[in-house]
Amino acid sequence: MRSFSSVPLTRVLRVSVVGIALATLVASCGEQQKQAGPPPTAVTVAQPVKRTVFDFDEYVGRFAAIDSVEVRARVSGYLDSVDFKDGQMVKQGDLLFTIDKRPFQNALEQARATLTQARSNLAFTEADFQRGQQLVQDKTITSQLFEQRSQAFRNAQAAVAGAEAAMKQAELDVEFTSLRAPINGRIGDRRVSPGNLVTGGASGNTTLLATIVSTDPIHFEFTFDEASYLRYERLAKQGQEDITSRNAGVEVALKLIDDKDYVHKGRMDFIDNVIDRLSGTIRGRAVLANPNGVFTPGMFARVRVPASSPYEALLVPDVAIGSEQVRKFVLVVDNTGTAQQKYVTLGQLVGDLRVIKEGIAAGDRVIVNGMAKVRAGQKVNAQEQQPAANAAPAPAAKTN
């Protein structure tokens, strides 16, 4: 083994120079990487979409039947049969209940017999009256006797009229033993079983047998506040949507609890004439077709009411909206590739797009993807994206 002292000095110097050069090269490369920094963040940008939209308000309400009837008997008696199935659809005139007819048929026969007797008596008194007219002229009978015959004839006429009325009432009572549906609609369940005594008549103590509600068309009732009512009135005076009109002209859209969008259409047909003093609200009503019976009285839904005339607006994807405490903003990319923050005033949500009323221009390049990774003033690598083609179209305002 040879010692270090035997290695030539020139070779040691050459090795040291090479080591120093390599160290210098590595250090310079690291310094260059440190100075270059990370690449710009990749984001997707798109220009705002121009579209015709209108403002709208949303309210919660309930469906209500246009017609609702409580089925009650007009005569008292024992219930003989129930002629429907609980919950079925019925048409006007369908047989629902039958009350025992026999007592009323007996009363009808008695009324007919009374009428026959009264008519027989009328025929006799009429003939007697006619004979008396000639006899009183011939001075065969006195005037007093003729007046008696005349009175008997008039009493017989009144008796016939009374007997005819009694027979008509007896016929009605027989007819009233068959309870028929007064309207088209869906009937509820029976409240009384056959064999029970049913109380009828015009008093308020009658027996409730069932209820029927109409289903097509159907009403939707909701309330809105006094401030909204005043706003609608002023819009109407400016020639815009007249929500407060009673002419069933303004179209509204409804969404059920399991709907994703407002897909059901109806028209306003009533606004109440007073504002409730306790709640400060006024009642509105829309009418909708319901051929399939999807809407049921008492069901909840949300209604969208137009609150302006159609206008041109700029829309951006709702995911592009950022929040800074109570203010909203979007990030746009300028000509130098730098993200800039713009505060905006938001409008309605139309599908996946949000109406921007103030704050951006039509030519702005709005960051629609990657916004969470970017801050204002940061350089970005912007990639253009086509406007959202499959966004939901804006609802159109329609009036008659």
The three-state secondary structure class of 64 is: strand
**pLDDT of res. 243:** 63
- The tokens describing 167, both together, are 């027979």
Q: Which long-range contacts (CB under 8 A, 24 or more apart) does 98-105 make?
A: 98/177, 98/178, 98/179, 99/73, 99/75, 99/176, 99/177, 99/178, 99/179, 99/198, 99/200, 100/177, 101/174, 101/177, 103/77, 104/75, 104/77, 104/170, 104/173, 104/174, 104/177, 105/174
Residue with tokens 């009837």: 69
User: What does the alpha-carbon distance between residue 259 and residue 350 come to, in Å, rounded to a whole number?
Assistant: 15
**pLDDT of res. 376:** 86
C-alpha angle with apex 38: 37 to 44, nearest 5 degrees? Answer: 140
Asked if 308 and 241 touch (Cβ cutoff 8 Å), the reply is: yes
**pLDDT of res. 181:** 95
> What backbone phi and psi angles, to 5 degrees, belong to 158?
-65, -40
User: What does the alpha-carbon distance between residue 63 and residue 255 come to, in Å, rounded to a whole number?
Assistant: 12
The DSSP symbol for 359 reads S
**pLDDT of res. 187:** 95
**pLDDT of res. 293:** 86
User: What does the alpha-carbon distance between residue 230 and residue 185 come to, in Å, rounded to a whole number?
Assistant: 37
**pLDDT of res. 22:** 54
For the chain, list the domains and their CATH numbers.
41-51+312-384 (2.40.420.20), 57-65+218-306 (2.40.30.170), 71-100+179-213 (2.40.50.100), 102-176 (1.10.287.470)
The DSSP symbol for 295 reads -
Q: Cβ–Cβ contacts within 10 Å for residue 75, how many?
A: 19
Side chain identity at residue 40, one-letter code: P
Asked if 363 and 26 touch (Cβ cutoff 8 Å), the reply is: no
**pLDDT of res. 190:** 94
> What are the per-10-residue average pLDDT scores of the chain (400 residues)?
49 51 53 60 88 87 95 94 94 95 95 94 89 79 84 92 94 95 94 94 87 94 91 75 63 91 90 90 93 92 85 88 88 89 87 87 88 86 66 42
Q: Give the side-chain half-sphere CA count within 13 A for 25.
A: 6
User: What does the alpha-carbon distance between residue 120 and residue 108 come to, in Å, rounded to a whole number?
Assistant: 19
> Residue 253: which residues within 8 A CB-CB, separation 6 or more?
262, 263, 264, 265, 266, 303, 304, 395
Q: Where are the beta strands (DSSP E) in 322-365?
A: 322-324, 327-333, 339-350, 353-358
Residue with tokens 């592009």: 320
> What backbone phi and psi angles, to 5 degrees, belong to 106?
-60, -40
Give kind and range of the element (H or E) at residue 81: strand 77-82
pTM of the model: 0.68
User: What does the alpha-carbon distance between residue 206 and residue 70 come to, in Å, rounded to a whole number?
Assistant: 11
**pLDDT of res. 390:** 43
- Which residues share a beta bridge with 44? 369, 383
